[in-house]
Amino acid sequence: MSKTIRELSKMNGRVYVYLRTPELRERFLRQAEQEGFTFCDGAKPTARLAADVMAINHDGTINYVGTNGRIAFGSGATQIGGETLIRINYETYILE
């Protein structure tokens, strides 16, 4: 059974997904689109390029992570914006 991005969106916290390679970024965008995700402005995931860290939201959207989020992601912070920061390595996640 394959892991879904939808499962990640239901986690209790702010989910940031690490996408190590361009191939993983493309795969993530395709999977997100197949599962019905959009960017916050309604654009389809495959209409844009993915960054190496992307956020998954509870409402079925994805977005880029800004400077403060990237600092939190890399610093070992446990919270961001009052929510638990959940780091997911997409490569490991899809292979588990």
Instruction: State pLDDT tens for residues 42-72.
Output: 999 999 999 999 999 999 999 999 999 999 9
Looking at the predicted structure, is the pLDDT value of residue 20 above 90? yes
Domains of the chain by residue range = 5-95
Triad 75, 85, 38: Cα angle to 5°: 115
pLDDT of residue 75: 94
Percent of the chain at pLDDT > 70 equals: 99
pLDDT at 96: 79
Q: How far apart are CA 46 and CA 88, in angstroms?
A: 20
pTM above 0.75, yes or no: yes
Whole-number Å distance between alpha carbons of 29 and 50: 7
17/54 Cα distance (integer angstroms):
5
Q: Kindly tell me if the per-residue pLDDT of 1 is higher than 60.
A: no
Rounded-to-integer distance, Cα 39 and Cα 61, Å: 5
